[in-house]
Structure 1
Amino acid sequence: MGGAMLAGWLAGGLAPSGFTVVDPVLTEAPAGVTLLRELPQGAAFDAVLLGIKPQMLGELAPSIAPFARGDTTVLSILAGVELATLAARFPDAGALVRMMPNLAAAIGKSPIALAGEGLDDAGRTEVTALLAPLGTPEWLASESLFDVVTALAGSGPGFVYRFIDALAASASALGLDPAQAQRLALATVEGASLLAAASPHSPAQLADRVASPGGTTRAGLDVLDADKALAQLIEATLRAAADRGAEMARAARG
């Protein structure tokens, strides 16, 4: 995820010289980006992005904490790690921001959920501007919503990929060449998504607008809508992901 964010920032025009990546195993970084195997002693940074595995936070936080002092903002993409946990690990940080992007950050199309502490209005504006090249930053009304947003925006691409795969597999089962079915399924979802993003109508309204009474689309929608089967399936999917996020948060506290 950190690599996708870096790619998005560079594609958005930010200078490579403004980034330092610390990774003991990464073979190379984009041109102009500093790559280090260990944390640099005595260095100072405006912001530190935590891109480690959540379960490694307890082990690595003591070595990272010296870089989270004064005016430094700690940005965390660690699933399930709450602001209170970050505050305990980095008590001298100037500000803390918990966020949940997804891999579409690499192309500037990621939703980015945000919650923070220690930021005034100007600080929030700066963080929003920093993340804008990656997609659509959204500050949440409450951190308690993070598990739901993580399920929707963080895990959501995986669910969409499953739907695309199901579209293609179903068309193939009905006789279409599998490779052609996949190309058409991808193009269908891409076009529908772009149109929905640009339309003044909601997705629900768009579905009804393309469904003529007695037509082919309506016949298919009747299957999806029967007994609210699709809505219930998606709600159960998001609930499972959100519940897992809550479990990870409880583990991180301990």
Structure 2
Amino acid sequence: MANLERLQKVIAQSGVTSRRKAEQLIVDGKVKVNNKVTTKLGTKVSANDDIEVNGVVLEKELPVHYILYKPRGVISSLKDDKNRKIVTDYLTDVKERVFPIGRLDYDTSGVLLLTNDGDFANLLMHPSHGVDKVYVAKIKGIPTKNHLMQLKKGVKSENDLLKAVGYKILSTDKKKQTTIIEITLHEGKNRHVRRMMEQLGYPILKLKREKYGVLTVDGLQPGEYRKLTPHEVKKLRQLTL
């Protein structure tokens, strides 16, 4: 017997849109199953069914999940109008249409997850699910106790309140006036760590995402990637419960 899944889940897993938006598309009559418009949310489908969303047929791909050690000087996007290197340029053997879960800015290195599983990506990116993202930053200056406390209270920058859930000073160099600090986030707004530290007066000299949930880039060199094990995928899903 074919394995049946809810229609909105299958659409979300394809990476087309989130599960909530998929539900709205179904209700709005924008989804066809085997060439018939389907507006019922409880509809279940199998891998043998043809699904069309907004006139586009979903390609049948099994969900895949990868970890990339993103190097500095690479865009976390699927295209770049300045023709700079993008993260998928490194995934040379991956046939599926994967996309990054969230992003690391151009000058930041470290853990980046890529998948074709939209449902999985939305789970991990939702700030309320509290998945730890651990960064190590080399900053200019030696932060005061008050400034460190401010990281957890929140720092205002461009109408955003940027917060850390934890921090740890790893080392300071009084001669060079630099500090290496570990910062843990649950959400990841645009250039979150950089903007937060710059606002407090400590520009970032180097930034790396060391950990995403249970994952690190141990065993990988910058630009290398590997497939996540089923156990790792399961552990990441458990972190969102």
Structure with the higher strand share, 1 or 2: 2
Structure 1 length as normaliser, TM-score? 0.29
Higher RCO (CA-CA < 8 Å; seq separation 6+):
2
TM-score (ref. length: structure 2): 0.30
